[in-house]
Amino acid sequence: MRRLIPTGDPARPVEFAQSPQPSPAPDEALVRVAAFSPNRGETFLLERPRPGLLPGKDVAGLVVQAAADGSGPAAGTRVAGHPPMGGWAEYVAVPTHSLAALPGDVTDVQAAALPLAGITALRLLRAAGPLIGRRVLLTGASGGVGHYVTELAAAAGAEVTAVTATAERGARLRELGAAAITHDVAAAPGPYDVVLESTGGPALAAALERLVPGGTLIWFGQASRTPATLSFFDLFAGAENGVIRHFHYAGAPYGADLATLVRLVSAGRLHPETGRVADWSSTAEVLVDLRERRVRGKAVLTVGGPR
């Protein structure tokens, strides 16, 4: 079968190679990949790929071999999956605890855009606690996670202020429920009960200044790739007794959260934002655009044509 492997060249980060078809473990299903979605964090890993790196954590496709232990979906079931690696290929073995069956009204492109970004948004908002009537500041809102967080938080009753680089991207976030858009954290009016911060660098300190006393700032990314510096005394400027929490989405099983996301898409309550859809022959070019933040929301690559 064909798969994409790292090259170590930032200008063309992946290339096709021939590889044996995966041999699933007893609790894994073999999935024929119809579409996959790269994440910006994966583009960073490709800059200096470790030996044996096989990227690909977000896939949609068809189960062609059910798990030997009897768990998970039967052969012939369309699924969304979140394998630990190896999804940029014609076939991938996925633990059954990280699969969710797809109804006919959810496309492979929509499903491939769900796993990492959607699970991150879902778990991030659970970490934030009840949101009805609360003011929420979201940085880095233009990416895949940001679109999901905006729509889910607004639906939960939050008043969301989204920080985004351009007016065009802000318009889409308003459609998804954002109450206000700003292009600079320092310009966000505040104060906010909850700050969801994914940029790092100076944005973290600026966001903290806008937190109410006793509020919560959850730090879930560093898209700027610039370290953040905080002073203990900054907390006395407004966020006194505030909570600063680190968040990372990871931790299997993922199947239940994937099923929730699929159900919301099927019901028309969640709308994956796919800023780029292309054949997987264009993966290298799409990865560069994703790394350089030229893609709004998610990018999806189809294997064997659009589905």
CA distance linking residue 296 with residue 157, whole number of Å:
25
Closest C-alpha to 106, from 271, 240, 225, 223: 271
Using a CB cutoff of 8 Å and minimum separation of 24, what contacts does 275-278 make?
275/299, 276/300, 277/109, 277/301, 277/302, 277/306, 278/302
- Confidence (pLDDT) at 239: 85
Q: Does residue 170 fall inside a structural domain?
A: yes
108 & 126 share domain:
no
| pLDDT at residue 272 is higher than 70 | yes
CATH number at residue 48: 3.90.180.10
Question: Which amino acid type is present at position 104?
Answer: G
| pLDDT at residue 256 is higher than 80 | yes
Is 0.85 surpassed by the pTM of this model? yes
Q: Does residue 260 fall inside a structural domain?
A: no
Closest C-alpha to 112, from 288, 293, 286: 286
Closest C-alpha to 5, from 38, 44, 53, 70: 53
- Confidence (pLDDT) at 213: 94
CA distance linking residue 280 with residue 88, whole number of Å:
9
32 & 101 share domain:
yes
What is the DSSP secondary-structure string of 55-95?
A: ----EEEEEEE--TTS-SPPTT-EEEE--SS--SBSEEEEE
CA distance linking residue 301 with residue 122, whole number of Å:
23
- Confidence (pLDDT) at 88: 98
171 & 220 share domain:
yes
Q: Does residue 107 fall inside a structural domain?
A: yes
pLDDT digit string, tens, across residues 196-249? 999 888 889 899 999 999 999 999 988 788 888 888 887 777 788 889 999 999
Q: Which residues does 71 contact at the CB level (< 8 Å), separation at least 6?
A: 27, 96, 97
pLDDT digit string, tens, across residues 20-74? 999 999 999 999 999 999 999 999 999 999 999 999 999 999 999 999 999 999 9
Q: Does residue 267 fall inside a structural domain?
A: no
109 & 127 share domain:
no
216 φ, ψ (degrees, to nearest 5): -125, 130
Q: Does residue 264 fall inside a structural domain?
A: no
CB 209 within 8 A of CB 239: yes
Mean pLDDT for the stretch of residues 158-169: 90
pLDDT digit string, tens, across residues 94-116? 999 999 999 999 999 999 999 99
206 & 154 share domain:
yes
- Confidence (pLDDT) at 104: 97
pLDDT digit string, tens, across residues 83-93? 999 999 999 99
Q: Does residue 298 fall inside a structural domain?
A: yes
159 & 128 share domain:
yes
DSSP state of 106: S
Q: Does residue 256 fall inside a structural domain?
A: no
104 & 134 share domain:
no
Where does a domain end: 230, 246, 262? Answer: 246
- Confidence (pLDDT) at 235: 77
Q: Number of structural domains, the chain?
A: 2
239 & 126 share domain:
yes
- Confidence (pLDDT) at 298: 95
- Confidence (pLDDT) at 306: 41
138 & 102 share domain:
no
Q: Does residue 251 fall inside a structural domain?
A: no
CB 158 within 8 A of CB 134: yes
267 by Cβ neighbours in 10 Å (0-12 / 13-18 / 19+) ranks as exposed
Hey, what are 70's tokens?
């009897």
| pLDDT at residue 297 is higher than 70 | yes
109 & 168 share domain:
no
Q: Within its chain, how far is the Cα of 69 from the centroid?
A: 30
125 & 58 share domain:
no
Q: What is the extent of the structural domain holding 213?
A: 121-246
CATH number at residue 125: 3.40.50.720
45 & 15 share domain:
yes
